[in-house]
Amino acid sequence: MHHTSLFKLARARLTLLAAVVFICPAALAQSQPTANAPKSESKPAAPAAPVVDETAAAVLKRGVDALGGAAYLNVKSVVGRGLFAQIVGGVATPPASFVDYLIYPDRERTEFKSSGVRSVQTNVGASSGWVFDGMTKTIHDAKSEELEGFQVSVRTSFDNLLRGAWRAEGASLEYVGRREAGLAKRNEVVRVTYPDGFAAEFEFGAKDGLPAKVSYKRKIKTKEGEDAEVTEEDRIERFLTFGGVQVPFTIDHYRDGERTSRITYDSVEFNPTIPDSLFAKPASVKAIK
């Protein structure tokens, strides 16, 4: 088995779901100015400077060390293969296989195959991407909700947290405290809050320092077309060590306390050469590699 990616996992869940249209997460709600709002002559107030709590920063450093320190941080690209299963009413559906290509910090391509049908979703940064729908044999630019879903998956990734990419968005980091996490187990909790109000809480094992869970709230569209706020969680399990890096091979996703999906990695490879052509939008369906 090759080495494995680490916190591609939190990204994978949302990206994979969007790729095969198992679930279509709605865009994060953002307040918009009204058309008739009066114009202000005064300059807008400058955003508050981000705050980084020293205790929270120490939790992150311990997390990086627990994962392998420099060996973990030196991972620049990843290819992962595995299975994805949606869970409905506690019962797992037949799994789909996937191959995921990732170049840090924000280039990703996920290929899905289910019942002989292949689908592809590619994201390049926060504002560019494309989707191949294997059911309809069509290619289209990523829609706004797909791009925003990718942004959420990046913001809620342990990779984004531990590699410090949140700083570039002016987010703040604070220490929340310790939280019960099972029999005789506690987690250290830190919260990252972005200037637009989006926040995620990341939990690390108090004893081993390893990432354990990320949780956040977001708004989705219900089947009835109404807005609803839900609590999403990714719970990380099955750490193995490869090439000096601690690696989780299973991630379960929960919505409002109910498990809705599981990703299980079969193999992953650190720092492979991934051609740029994989991320370029093909001219036609026949040109898809």
pLDDT at 267 over 70: yes
Paired tokens of 241: 């060590």
| Full-model pTM | 0.81
Domains in the chain: ranges and CATH:
8-23+50-282 (2.50.20.10)
Span 146-185, pLDDT tens digits: 888 888 988 999 999 999 999 999 999 999 999 999 888 9
- E-strand ranges in 104-226 read 107-114, 117-124, 129-133, 138-141, 172-180, 186-193, 199-205, 211-221
Three-state SS for 278? helix
Q: Each residue of 200-225: pLDDT tens digit?
A: 999 999 999 999 999 999 888 777 77
